[in-house]
């Protein structure tokens, strides 16, 4: 399937929404997310089926003020807690799972640069974000030894400017972005990395997002970003030094926050699948022969169908509750005067449990509804299968098997999980 992507620059800072207000409270943010999710859900099946771009929906999110909730109070934003931001993504993913994933990098980057304080480029990025700018991602690459390795490099010139070269894939969030955060190694400095902010329309930046060809999350257009001799001002390069030691580095909850956002997408899709499946059974499915002989006139009243919906609902409730517990611990950690290793570990492990179980239960829910809809539920025009395709694709972002290992080691030996960037 091909997702049509408008010409580069069609959603650059020169095309930002006007009169974007600030959502000051969690209640305002969640109400805005609910309203948009309802709006997006109405035509999500048809939109995904025909490969329509999500740019109009991304613009609606920008106009709502939801992009600005990542901005700290010190920069004029609402300074909302992590739990609210994760819940916003979960609710938006209920409306359209691809849209939720498109916005994930915006929420992660917005949090990641908060530690810069007034240092560049935080004030500039946050000011644009409050004006409706979306932040996109160009981190992962194909063909490296591991999924976390980078070959894209940035080289500092004698005049202080930098030059960026490389090719990125899985560039989720580049669609619609005003700024793209690029992960790079610093040329000539062994093991040192940097995050570089570029505009999608600037010279040397090429977006080939149609290269995305997965069977799910098609609307994310998570294709390729090519960077050829891109000249970048020094105040848009964050020099990060060497990667932190997995054991001895200072504790952080940024990885737990990132993983909670990923889990929120899967869990939001699972709720959409369950609700859409229930609607189909109530309105379209027919009761089976034995049920009819017993006097049942509706598939929604068939006792085995009712029971299975109950099982799937219980799994969904468990996922939602575990995610909420994890984000509450993240909030607590961010409120500590000095984040403790124990709090950081508890946040990582709780969110890891939610993320790992979502890979099982969310996929089961999105698949299990077809046992109950009957064959008519597989009609391509209905497009119920998009939920399974979307959650199956996104749930593969990072493997659950290692999360269970870290959980087991903590239970057996009290071992804290390692610090592994944004994957734990």
- State pLDDT tens for residues 397-412: 999 999 999 999 999 9
User: Is the domain of 263 the same as that of 396?
Assistant: yes
Model confidence over 233-262: pLDDT tens digits?
999 999 999 988 888 899 999 999 999 999
Which CATH number is 225's domain given? 2.40.110.10
**Residue-number span of the structural domain to which 329 is assigned:** 253-413
222 shares a domain with 308: no
Residues 40 and 50: their CA atoms lie apart, in Å, by 15
Name the token pair of 405: 């290992």
Give one DSSP letter per residue of 285-329, joined into a string. Answer: ----HHHHHTT---GGG-HHHHHHHHHHHHHHHHHHHHHHHHHHH
The answer, yes or no, to whether residue 3 has pLDDT greater than 50, is: no
Per-residue pLDDT, 148: 82
Q: How many domains does the chain have?
A: 3
Confidence of residue 7 (pLDDT cuts 50, 70, 90): very low
135-184 tens-digit pLDDT:
999 999 999 988 888 999 999 999 999 999 999 999 999 999 999 999 99
For residues 274 and 322, membership in a common domain is answered with yes
Task: Tell me which of 215, 242, 269 is where a domain ends.
Answer: 242
Say whether 62 sits in a helix, a strand or coil.
Answer: helix
Render 128-166 in DSSP notation, one character per residue: HHHTTPPEEEE---SSSSSTT----EEEE-TTS-EEEEE
pLDDT over 70 (residue 18)? no
Rounded Cα–Cα distance for residues 363 and 393 (Å): 10
What confidence tens digit (pLDDT) does each residue in 75-113 have?
999 999 999 999 999 999 999 999 999 999 999 999 999
Ramachandran class of 335: left when φ > 0, alpha when ψ lies in -120 to 50, beta otherwise:
alpha
Residues 327 and 274 in one domain: yes
| Pair 51, 4: CB distance under 8 Å | yes
pLDDT at 13: 41
């Amino acid at each position: 399937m091909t997702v049509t992507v408008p010409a580069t620059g069609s959603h650059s800072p020169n095309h930002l929404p006007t009169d974007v207000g600030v959502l000051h409270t969690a209640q305002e943010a969640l109400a805005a997310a609910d309203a948009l999710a309802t709006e997006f859900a109405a035509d999500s099946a048809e939109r995904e089926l025909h490969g329509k771009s999500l740019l109009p929906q991304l613009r609606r999110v920008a106009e709502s003020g939801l992009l600005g909730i990542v901005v700290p109070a010190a920069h004029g934003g609402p300074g909302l807690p992590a739990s609210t931001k994760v819940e916003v993504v979960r609710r938006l993913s209920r409306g359209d799972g691809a849209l939720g994933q498109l916005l994930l990098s915006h929420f992660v980057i917005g949090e990641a640069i908060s530690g810069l304080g007034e240092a560049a480029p935080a004030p500039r990025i946050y000011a644009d974000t409050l004006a409706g700018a979306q932040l996109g991602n160009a981190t992962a690459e194909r063909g490296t030894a591991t999924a976390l390795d980078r070959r894209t490099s940035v080289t500092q010139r004698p005049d202080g400017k930098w030059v960026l070269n490389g090719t990125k894939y899985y560039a989720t969030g580049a669609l619609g972005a005003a700024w793209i955060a690029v992960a790079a190694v610093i040329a000539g400095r062994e093991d040192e990395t940097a995050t570089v902010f570029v505009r999608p329309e600037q010279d040397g930046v090429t977006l080939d997002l149609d290269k995305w060809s997965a069977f799910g999350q098609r609307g994310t257009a998570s294709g390729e970003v090519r960077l050829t001799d891109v000249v970048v001002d020094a105040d848009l390069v964050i020099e990060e030094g060497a990667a932190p030691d997995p054991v001895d580095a200072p504790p952080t909850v940024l990885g737990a926050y990132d993983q909670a956002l990923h889990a929120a997408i899967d869990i939001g899709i699972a709720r959409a699948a369950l609700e859409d499946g229930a609607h189909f059974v109530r309105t379209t499915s027919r009761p089976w022969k034995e049920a009819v002989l017993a006097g049942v006139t509706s598939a929604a009243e068939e006792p085995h169908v009712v029971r299975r919906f109950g099982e799937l609902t219980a799994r969904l409730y468990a996922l939602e509750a575990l995610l909420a517990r994890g984000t509450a611990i993240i909030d607590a950690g961010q409120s500590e005067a000095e984040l403790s290793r124990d709090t950081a570990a508890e946040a990582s492990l709780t969110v890891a449990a939610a993320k790992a179980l979502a890979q099982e239960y969310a996929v089961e829910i999105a698949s299990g509804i077809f046992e109950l809809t009957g064959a008519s539920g597989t009609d391509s025009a209905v497009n119920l299968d998009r939920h399974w395709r979307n959650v199956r694709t996104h749930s593969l972002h990072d493997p659950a098997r290692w999360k269970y290992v870290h959980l087991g080691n903590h239970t057996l030996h009290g071992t804290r999980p390692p610090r592994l960037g944004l994957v734990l």
